[in-house]
Amino acid sequence: MPELPEVETVRRGLALYVTGKRIKRLEILHPRATRSGSTISLKSVEGARITDVARRGKFLWFVLDRELALVGHLGMSGQMLIVPKNSELERHTRIRIDFGDKKLELRFIDQRTFGWMSAEPLRKQDEKYLPECCAHIAPDIFSEEFDKARVIGEIKRRKIEIKKALLNQEIMSGVGNIYADEALWYAKVHPERLSSSLSESELAEILRAVKKVMKSALKQGGTSFDDLYINVNGESGYFEVSLRAYGREDEPCRRCGALIRRINFANRSSHFCPVCQRARKSRKPAKKRG
């Protein structure tokens, strides 16, 4: 699933092309292309001018000159491509958007149909207006609203595995399976370590690792393991070659040489180094003195 670096790469590409353009026509080609539960027709954004392209975590949206936003979520395999109008439709094209451009249009393509687009009312939150469907999503580590102390406190008070805490989009958004594994490798923390057992300094180090690894991924256009994630020009990201843990089962750790292990974790896989990221042993209860 595309995570923050991939979604931000797409957002930047879209912003260069669509900012200032008007949505002349929006065509829905598949019934599952719209968000389940959305009550506003996607066609209601026709005629609106796009003033910006924004993002929170894994959500991105077109900021419009009206009290609505056109929101997109890439799901597992969603792509937003700027392509020639006269080119053949891709097999899994779900939505087409015509901006009145004689040569180019935007196509939302989604092979697995977990992604969607929707027209959403705006809700004011912390002096900003957010689409209603993502108002519950926490700021990400690059956001101006990101509160490091709050996030550390929120993680520490929870008695759950640290990886599960990192994946919780209501604590901190944008981190998924790939960058959680990478950040924990850099911070030398086992993914199953209880978040409540970590010190504030250890949690601060994990957050530094999260920011470091996603900043590096952004520079390389994100991570692509296949052609399901590509940017708006149809190009893959190259961060895969820099991965230290994720997807490297039975390959040597680039820090100590031990073989990377993979374990099942909450319907996902976790990759870690068994030497650099040792599981913390539970202390045996002290013997009572007679």
List active site positions. 2-3, 58, 268
Please provide the distance, in angstroms rounded to a whole number, between the alpha carbons at the two ends of the chain.
58
User: Distance of alpha carbon 200 from its chain centroid, rounded?
Assistant: 25
Residues 203-238 as b/e (b if ≥16 CB within 10 A, e otherwise) read: bbbbbebbbebbeebbebbbbbeeebbbbbeeebbe
User: Distance of alpha carbon 276 from its chain centroid, rounded?
Assistant: 26
Q: Are the C-beta atoms of residues 38 and 22 closer than 8 Å to each other?
A: no
Q: Are the C-beta atoms of residues 122 and 131 closer than 8 Å to each other?
A: yes
DSSP 146-194: --HHHHHHHHHT--SBHHHHHH-TTTSBS--HHHHHHHHHHHT--TTSB
Please give the C-alpha separations between residue 274 and each of 161, 183, 194, 205, 243, in angstroms, as whole numbers. 16, 15, 17, 19, 17
Query: What is the Cα–Cα distance from 154 to 171, expressed in whole angstroms?
Result: 7
Residue carrying structure tokens 């595309």: 2
Surface-to-core class of residue 65, CB atoms within 10 Å of its CB (0-12 exposed, 13-18 middle, 19+ buried)? exposed
